[in-house]
Structure 1
Amino acid sequence: MSQPDDLRRAFHLFPISVKGVVVRDGKVLLLRNEREEWELPGGKIEPGETPEECVAREITEETQWKVTTGPILDSWMYHIATAEKDVFIVTYGCYPDTAAPPVLSHEHKEVGLFKEGEVPELHMPDGYKRSIARWFAHLREQAPELIG
């Protein structure tokens, strides 16, 4: 099998999802999905789009929040047991460009804003919890006004 075929097969086996950690007023923006898990907003890259553009677009589509994409925080393979599939997750730290409340889209069941100390007890993948902790640590050093 040639290298391009290997890449196509790997992409087919492992879809990519780009997620954003957005903290405003000391709270992280999360969405509850159909599996009753809290997750970060984000989704799949569209043709011609960069990962940074993707995460900003997806956050706006899912919450009506405009953001500026910051640095990559983490990446990992997430096994979704109920769907019997693996997804390659990449998370970015994002800066909010709005003071409006988040608006729930049709893609999720609930939108929530959570303090850092509430995150460890939430039903969500550990990779998301790790990304959230990294972004809070970064903001404490670089943008403490976002965490209060």
Structure 2
Amino acid sequence: MALIRVQEAPFDLAAESAALTAGRDDVGGLASFVGLCRADDGLAALVLEHYPGMTERALAEIAAQAEARWPLTGCTVIHRHGRILPGQPIVLVLTASRHRTAALEACAFLIDWLKTGAPFWKHEEFADGTTRWVAARSSDDAAAAKWG
């Protein structure tokens, strides 16, 4: 069963990777994705809002789909909320499997589906003081759709 966390604090990639593989001799591949906040177009901060409980359930359902499709030996999904500055991490996806292909494909599947299926609301704050809500992108929907 996947480890799912929604938290305000940053995460430690090395510590989370070590925790996922600790004491395991059946892991042949560990794939990771870390999404970072970019400073596009003068972005000063990204504010992520969510509904506690609902968000964790949605993330767990997406992770369960990955666990059903690929022979994973472990899976971690950590998504931050709150005010995030450019350069800071937003999301971590780790997948472990006996073989690299399963780990890599499951990791790609998870991040594609998290972009469209995770209930977060994103609000951008700009250096000039303006703000705007982030709309869904058709490119994210297309990336998720390729998984069927």
TM-score by length of 1: 0.30
TM-score by length of 2: 0.30
